[in-house]
């Protein structure tokens, strides 16, 4: 163990690819996660699960993104921040949602 090196974030691209593949191949997992982000109050869950779902082409993801953006702006535009595992940094939830809608729900290049 004392000879280990590197950062835990070096694992992120590999982890993201594997989880994204699961969402693409298992519709039940994808549908369950849509329910999770609809019920969740956690910006971390909303931000990252929505990005994992982005490549599934489920209409519910686009609908949820629009609804969540509307809710954020109706509540005064409060910046909900969370850690984005796709980019390895903290980002406002509304930026992730806008990116997903703008990119027409296309997954990041490294997937």
The pLDDT of residue 107 is above 70: no
Find out whether 18 and 53 touch, Cβ atoms under 8 Å: no
pLDDT score for 36: 87
Tell me which residue of 18, 25, 103, 101 sits closest to 61, measured CA to CA: 101
Chain segment 39-70, per-residue pLDDT in tens:
877 888 888 888 888 877 678 888 888 888 88
pLDDT of 14 over the 80 cut: no
On whether the pTM is more than 0.85, the answer is no
Identify the pLDDT of residue 82.
Answer: 87
The β-bridge partners of 91 are 82
Of all residues in the chain, what percent carry a pLDDT higher than 70?
Answer: 78
Query: Across residues 7-27, what is the average pLDDT?
Result: 74
CB 101 within 8 A of CB 89: no
| Residue 12 CB burial class (10 angstroms; 0-12, 13-18, ≥19) | middle
Using the predicted structure, report yes or no on whether residue 29 has a pLDDT greater than 80.
yes
Residue pair 29/22 in contact by the 8 Å Cβ criterion: yes
Which pLDDT band, with edges at 50, 70 and 90, does 108 fall under? very low
Reading the block at residue 65, the tokens are: 């993104």
């Amino acid at each position: 163990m004392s000879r280990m090196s590197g950062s835990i974030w070096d694992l992120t691209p590999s982890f993201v690819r594997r989880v994204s593949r699961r969402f693409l191949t298992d519709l039940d997992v994808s549908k369950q996660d849509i329910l999770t982000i609809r019920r969740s109050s956690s910006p971390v869950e909303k931000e990252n699960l929505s990005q994992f779902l982005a490549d599934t082409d489920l209409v519910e993801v686009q609908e949820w993104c629009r609804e969540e953006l509307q809710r954020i702006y109706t509540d005064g535009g409060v910046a909900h921040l969370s850690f984005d595992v796709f980019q390895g940094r903290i980002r406002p939830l509304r930026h992730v949602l806008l990116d997903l809608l703008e990119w027409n729900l296309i997954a990041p290049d490294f997937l």
